[in-house]
Structure 1
Amino acid sequence: MNLHKLLLFVGLICTQAMADEQSQGEFYAKLNVDAQSSDKGDGRFSEIKSNNSWIGVKGDYQIADAISVVYRLEWKVDITGESGSDSLTERPQYVGIRGGFGELTLGRNFTALWMAQGKIDLYNHYEGDITKIWKGENRLSDVASYSSPSYHGFNVKLTYQAEKSENGDSATSAGLFYGDANLKKSPLFAALAHDFDVNGYDTTRASMQYKMGQHVIGGMLQQQEPADGGDSQSGALVSYSFNAGNMIYKVQYQTLEDDTTFNLGLDYPLGDNTKVFAWYAQIEKEDNPDNKFLALGFEHKLSYKF
């Protein structure tokens, strides 16, 4: 699907929704691009990269007392055009119902273990993303996802991937969560999750993030091993950010046995929806040349409720 067809499709959804008195959802987008100086072991070169840029529509629509339809259609957008005709790729796309029993959706979605990271990975989708040395950052197709109602701040999330064929294998991800990943309803977010044979790995992740005024500190512990046997690997991550008002400073360090990543950067907000950012990332993996990156970029968000 190209961008023109996508915008036409979203426009038709919004036009239909405007004919109804009940608010149904939100069209949203995020554009994030940077200029990078990159060194992957064979010399330094320049790049213009589209990072966590996406476009989508999401919402809910009440169909009965305390019962609503929920949906989300989201695509990653390669603004720089490196992907050619495949500049749009699927992100979460699902439909389901929400009520006093919780929320159940069918489609394409993140695993419970992925959601256990909350906002602790300060460099998600950049070069220093935790996926560089950790397993578990999975967004699966053919899944049923369930999120329970909150009880004293706790809730359970389950993700089940269907076998797809008589010779296929199913996969399950489950987690126990506390608090709010955005740290708006509670200053504490914590999670414990496990992947059962998800993309060939059994993975356990424990995470916690706490906000103290303008300071936010987070940490994660992870153990992963091939589901069909193999060596188990363990690692840890710690991240810290400080909001100085006109500048947000961020630092992050991650390990997996002898592999490490280190990220250091800052954000300079230009209003509520726009920012300039800069960061440095270093990735050290055993038996691989060190990767080093330096970037300066821009991000802008937009949304339209209908």
Structure 2
Amino acid sequence: MKKVLLAAAVASISFSAAHAAPTLYGKLNVSLNQVDNNDFKGNDQTQLNSNASRIGVKGEEKLTDNIGVVYLAEWSISTDGSGSDTDLSARNRYLGLKFKDIGTVKAGYFDSYLKTIAGDNQDIFNDDTNLDITKTMYGEERLKNAIGFESDKNLLPIPLRFNVMAEMGEDNSSKYTTKKRNGFGSGVATSLVYDNKDAGFNVAIAGNFGVQGKYNASDISDKIESDSYRFTTSWDLTKIGVDGLTLGALYQYTEPSNSPSKDQLKALGLKTSAASLDEKAWVLQATYRVPSTPWAVKGQYQSAKTSWDEDDRKIDQYGVGLDYNFNKQGRFYAVLAQQKRNWLKEDDKKTVFGVGMIYSF
């Protein structure tokens, strides 16, 4: 009997320790790419890319019957040893409290809710070093010094969730705003998401307000505090008998918030185009998962038009992808895409062909 009790006690301790331990997770995404006109100056390049590979730890622990603690810390991993993904640079990280059936409050450095409503059904090239939508449009921002609230799926009687995030500016602002960024909510990100899994239908709307971001087609290299409105939707047509086909779309409008006048910008020696900037962007996407096979075929078209008094510029990108899914963790893929910049008189097209593999753990 003592041996049985001892074995049960040891098993209980082991179970508790395992339950309390953080989860190690990661995503490795390595591709071999041939990029023609890589710099839009006629130069070609063969690349081995890391594509936002990452590693992290996360966990959730019960504190009381109704409150738990949640945490996450994530770092970039440069699987190719160089390039845009610096080893162990900061990605998402936060500490928070989860309230049963109400929601979660998080504090730290994590993706804006405008960014997170765009998923795989809006961006088939997500994380790609050359082709991610961050290369064409504003909005793929991760906010520093942020506090966010994310409602629980059980809070409302319908599959509707809302999120709101407030950024502490801490005097971290560009010269392209007249607003001081030194208080609570210097930047704000919000989203409202309706996700009906039974119908295979998702629709979301989100906004960034006073959040720094980049206008890829403009002649301004700095990030600018901007207001942006994003709408996304997707529909899995399997639910109505078209097996394997999913359609997705995104539309976004962006303009600077609290921008100085042209005279003020000129006095500061800055680009006066910021006073009249705006950007309209959209994405159309389709994915066909071939029934009863590991194959999936994808296609996407995206466009961002940036306008101001002196100019009108447009970035168009279209491409296709082919996936072979070994299982839920491992996937082999191939991509072929081209990006065009209409304001360039020559060498205006960049073409990317690549093959790669993703493994998540």
TM range, smaller chain? 0.7 to 0.9
Q: Which residue of 2 is the match for residue 172 of structure 1?
A: 188
Is the counterpart of residue 215 in structure 1 residue 240 in structure 2?
Answer: no
Q: Which residue of 1 is the match for residue 208 of structure 2?
A: 195
- Code of the residue aligned with 1:231 in structure 2: it is L
Q: Which residue of 2 is the match for residue 235 of structure 1?
A: 281
Counterparts in 2 of 1:74-93, with a 5 A limit? 74-83=74-83, 86-93=86-93
Normalising to structure 1: TM-score of the pair? 0.86
What are structure 1's unaligned runs of at least 5 residues? 1-16
- Alpha-carbon distance in structure 2 between the residues aligned to 1:104 and 1:55: 23
Contact kept in structure 2, 1:26 and 1:57, CA below 8 Å:
yes
Query: Structure 2 vs 1, CA of residues 186 and 160 (structure 1 numbering), >3 Å: closer, same or farther?
Result: farther
How far apart are 1:128 and its partner, in Å? Answer: 1.6
- Alpha-carbon distance in structure 2 between the residues aligned to 1:143 and 1:85: 23
Task: Select the structure with the greater relative contact order (CA < 8 A; seq sep ≥ 6).
Answer: 1
Task: Select the residue among 257, 278, 296 that pairs with 1:248.
Answer: 296
Counterparts in 2 of 1:86-165, with a 5 A limit? 86-99=86-99, 100-119=101-120, 120-126=122-128, 127-150=130-153, 151=156, 152-165=158-171
Structure 1 residues 206-254: Cα deviation after superposition (integer angstroms, max 9, x where no partner): 1101112211110011111122142322122111101112211010101
How far apart are 1:84 and its partner, in Å? Answer: 10
Q: Which residue of 1 is the match for residue 241 of structure 2?
A: none
Query: Structure 2 vs 1, CA of residues 281 and 18 (structure 1 numbering), >3 Å: closer, same or farther?
Result: farther
- Alpha-carbon distance in structure 2 between the residues aligned to 1:142 and 1:186: 37
Contact kept in structure 2, 1:128 and 1:262, CA below 8 Å:
no
Is the counterpart of residue 26 in structure 1 residue 23 in structure 2?
Answer: yes
* 3-state SS in 2 of match to 1:147: strand
* 3-state SS in 2 of match to 1:155: strand
Contact kept in structure 1, 2:49 and 2:83, CA below 8 Å:
no
Is the counterpart of residue 205 in structure 1 residue 230 in structure 2?
Answer: yes
* 3-state SS in 2 of match to 1:88: coil
- Code of the residue aligned with 2:250 in structure 1: it is M
Structure ranking higher in strand proportion: 1
Q: Which residue of 2 is the match for residue 262 of structure 1?
A: 318
- Alpha-carbon distance in structure 2 between the residues aligned to 1:128 and 1:287: 19
Normalising to structure 2: TM-score of the pair? 0.74
How far apart are 1:21 and its partner, in Å? Answer: 5.6
- Code of the residue aligned with 1:232 in structure 2: it is D
Structure 1 residues 259-305: Cα deviation after superposition (integer angstroms, max 9, x where no partner): 21112111112233212110012111232422111001111122xxx
* 3-state SS in 2 of match to 1:22: helix
Root-mean-square deviation (CA), in Å? 2.3
Contact kept in structure 2, 1:109 and 1:145, CA below 8 Å:
no
**Residue-pair matches, total:** 284
- Code of the residue aligned with 2:125 in structure 1: it is Y
How far apart are 1:83 and its partner, in Å? Answer: 4.9
- Alpha-carbon distance in structure 1 between the residues aligned to 2:69 and 2:198: 24
Contact kept in structure 2, 1:237 and 1:254, CA below 8 Å:
yes
Contact kept in structure 1, 2:110 and 2:144, CA below 8 Å:
yes
- Alpha-carbon distance in structure 2 between the residues aligned to 1:260 and 1:96: 40
- Alpha-carbon distance in structure 1 between the residues aligned to 2:106 and 2:204: 21
- Code of the residue aligned with 1:129 in structure 2: it is D
Larger radius of gyration between Structure 1 and Structure 2 = 2
* 3-state SS in 1 of match to 2:332: strand
